[in-house]
Amino acid sequence: KGELETLPHVLNHCPGRSRGWQLRHDAVGDRIVKALSTRDKFLTINQPVGEDDLRPDFVFQHGKNIYIIDVTIPFENRLDSFEKARQRKIDKYATLIDFYAKSNLKAFIVPIVVGALGSWDTKNDKFLLKFMSKSYLALFQKLCVSDCIKWSRDIYIEHQTGKRQFQDPRPRPQTAGHTSSSDPDAPDSQAQRSPQHSAPPISVSMSPLHVPPLL
């Protein structure tokens, strides 16, 4: 039995729209890379980390602190939708806190939560204000929200018309037997992953090819 084609289903759960979800997610990820890359260093971008080979979007180091950053774009149809999305990320990467503690590093899990309809989770601000001014944060919020609205619009129109609304900036290869996940937090296809590096290039899977420059 198929799922009802509600707005939450189309924007966050319909397998046929999974490429749009990934590019929407990556648009926010690209903003984070641009904003933080001049502040300190990214240890990994979309690479396996820890004993369980978890794949957070970013591992960012500032002094002796490690920030495990992961973007999530939930549908904001419940008052607690952001809180649940944030907690899922905290639970998912909890083992990495002990993993980095073995190297005398203090790790923090930092979910960055932006709604599929364009809502901003103010709990993102505590981390971001460590690395940007309040005025810059206000701009950063608007850019991330605008990206999500733009991509959600494209996903919805494509679903209604059957016509692709965007040119894929980095087409992913089709592999035999591959099926798209219905989880909006799922990573991109494994075919696009590159081997782990201590400081991988930004162009791995979150390259800023299609995203307008951060003003």
Q: Please tell me what DSSP assigns to residue 58.
A: E
Structural class in CATH, domain 7-161:
alpha beta
- Cα 94 to Cα 129: distance, rounded to the nearest angstrom: 23
% of the chain beyond a pLDDT of 70: 77
Matching residue, tokens 């396996």: 48
Picking from 131, 123, 142, the residue whose alpha carbon sits closest to that of residue 214 is: 142
pTM (predicted TM-score): 0.78
Average pLDDT, stretch 28-57? 96
Tens-place pLDDT, residues 157-198: 888 888 878 777 766 554 333 334 445 454 443 334 333 333
Averaged pLDDT score across all residues of the chain: 82
- Cα 125 to Cα 161: distance, rounded to the nearest angstrom: 37
Tally of CB atoms within 10 A around 101:
12
pLDDT at residue 196, as a whole number: 36
Domain ranges in the chain are 7-161
Helix (H) or strand (E) segment spanning residue 92 = helix 81-92
Side-chain-facing half-sphere of 164: CA atoms under 13 Å: 8
